[in-house]
Homo-oligomer: A and B are copies of this chain.
Amino acid sequence: MNKVISLSSDFGVMNKGIAVMEAVALSICPDAKIFNMSHGIPFFEISQGARVLEAVAYLPVGCHVMVVDPGVGTERKGIVIETERGDYLIGPDNGILLPATNFLGGFKRAFELANEKYYRKPVSPVFHGRDVFTPAAAYLCAGVKVEEFGPELREKDLVKAPYPEAKIEGNKIVAQIIDVNNFGSPFLNVRQEEMHKLFKVGDVIKAEVSGKKFDLPYKRTYGEVKVGNVLLVDDDFGRVEVAVNMGFFTDKFKVKVGDKVVLEK
């Protein structure tokens, strides 16, 4: 397999823990190639972390570590999920790993990270990213079989994903905001394949956000509406994005992660 490890977290910008996780990985698997996916996930935000992990679909098949872990040190499990594409997703059992499986061919199987043989010791009760998750990724890269980490877990026994995949219901898609970028543009839990079954670029969608109804042109890119106007576009990572050309959607509409957005034909 590829000796590829990606690391993501809510540690914040250039936290010293990131370099330490890299060093732990390389001490176990010296020829691993490490990508830092994002360490700017907002503190404890499961939905936004899940959205970041979806983007590993654009990385090589590998071992992808996600450390947004409000339950660290409690009884929550550490887990590894194998995907049909061949990736291993590694992190806490809080739902954050599941949405990415939809971009990686689907969920194959999961195991608990219970085997202390593959922990870095002593295990800090506040930093499983360094002591449990990153070592698991590195041991997988080094050839350890996923079955060796602990008991297999059934998908239905895992903590649920922070958001489902939005589906067409009649002439509507009832969606949810799963992330907001630095430019104030929300992303929806709508995959482009699903979107394209009901709508096409050029349509004007009847949208409802926070009880406000308005026309939402479905465009190819921002500049196709006037400055300050709203639009919907296919985003750059397989979902759809609502935005204001040269402005901030979240300033115009007071919305946040988790809010409902209805798209009607």
Contact = CB atoms under 8 A, between A and B. Distances in A.
Interface of A: 6, 8, 11-20, 22-24, 26-27, 33, 35-40, 43, 52, 55, 58-60, 70-74, 124-127, 130, 182-183, 220-223, 233-237, 246
Contacts of A8: 16
B236 A124 contact: yes
Contact of A223 (B40, B43, B71, B183): B71
Given A38-B14, A233-B126, A55 B6 contact: no
B126 A222 contact: yes
Contact of A60 (B27, B39, B127): B27
B36 A19 contact: yes
A126 B73 CA distance: 41
Contact of A23 (B27, B39, B59, B246): B59
A35 B19 contact: yes
Given A33-B26, A43-B183, A58-B23, A126 B17 contact: no
27 contacts: A13-B14, A13-B40, A14-B14, A14-B38, A15-B38, A15-B182, A16-B55, A16-B237, A19-B36, A19-B37, A19-B38, A19-B59, A20-B55, A20-B59, A23-B58, A23-B59, A27-B60, A43-B182, A43-B183, A71-B223, A73-B220, A73-B221, A73-B223, A74-B221, A124-B234, A125-B220, A126-B222
A16 B17 CA distance: 18
B17 A36 contact: no
Contact of A58 (B20, B70, B236): B20
A236 B19 contact: no
Contacts of A73: 220-223
B233 A60 contact: no
Given A40-B14, A223-B71, A223-B74, A35 B60 contact: no
A27 B2 CA distance: 12
A3 to B, nearest CB: 12
A52 B233 contact: no
Contacts of A222: 73, 126
